Amino acid sequence: MDPDFIDRIQWIILTEEEGKIIKVRSDNRAKILEECSLSLMGHFHMMRPINTRAAKNLLRSVWKFGQDLKITEVGDRLFQFKFAMESQLNWVLKNGPWSFDNDILLLRRWEKRMMAYSVEFECIPIWVQMWGLPFDLFTTGAVQDIEKSTGKVLEVDCKAISADQARFLRIRVEFPLKKPIKRGAPFLSPEGDKVRISFQYERLVGLCFNCGLIGHESRECHHPISNTEEDKPY
């Protein structure tokens, strides 16, 4: 639904008859709340039209939950995914990001009093590989300082630290959608040595190679587009 239309509704001055409060009965409310508590809200981030049926079929096939998964379209490109178990919901969150036709699917847990036009998606959880760290800084302690550059750290892949081959540090971060992705950052060791590390993002789609934001392509970008490849940092 058009957000502008919703805004207009909120400011309509109701007549005395229209303004009578409607009290909603609580029939089956406990059951509905239980179902919603095991659900995720999902939004396809690109603004181009999508094949809704094909997207649903693909997600059902990839997630492999069968009839345990209920998918309901509740708004414009907005879906509610209802699971039978908490473990299924957590598996989907942990193993994302998911996408369809190069269109990334943003997910967040359902919260009480959510409405179709009030659901906001501000971040995306994504795995980031950090290349170029000195070997002696492959520690979970270094992650706390790295967090300031990349976003809130949700998980650290300890296998990447203790494995036989540890060429990069791998962390899962909550990256803000309103900021361009970072290609790297300068890093200062405890001894004062400065090195530059680079970031590689896993399963990242829908990236604008002009401005670095997720959610549109270069030809749809509102930022000035350079004609030379040298001036396109992404």
Q: Per-residue pLDDT tens for 69-100? A: 999 998 888 899 999 999 999 999 999 899 99
* pLDDT above 60 for 10: no
C-alpha to C-alpha distance for 63 and 98, rounded to whole angstroms: 10
Segment holding 58, helix H or strand E: helix 52-63
pLDDT category at 43 given cuts 50, 70, 90 is very high
- pLDDT of 111 reads 85
* pLDDT above 50 for 1: no
Q: Is the peptide bond before 97 cis (omega within 30 degrees of 0)?
A: yes
Q: What is the average pLDDT score of the chain?
A: 81
pLDDT category at 139 given cuts 50, 70, 90 is low
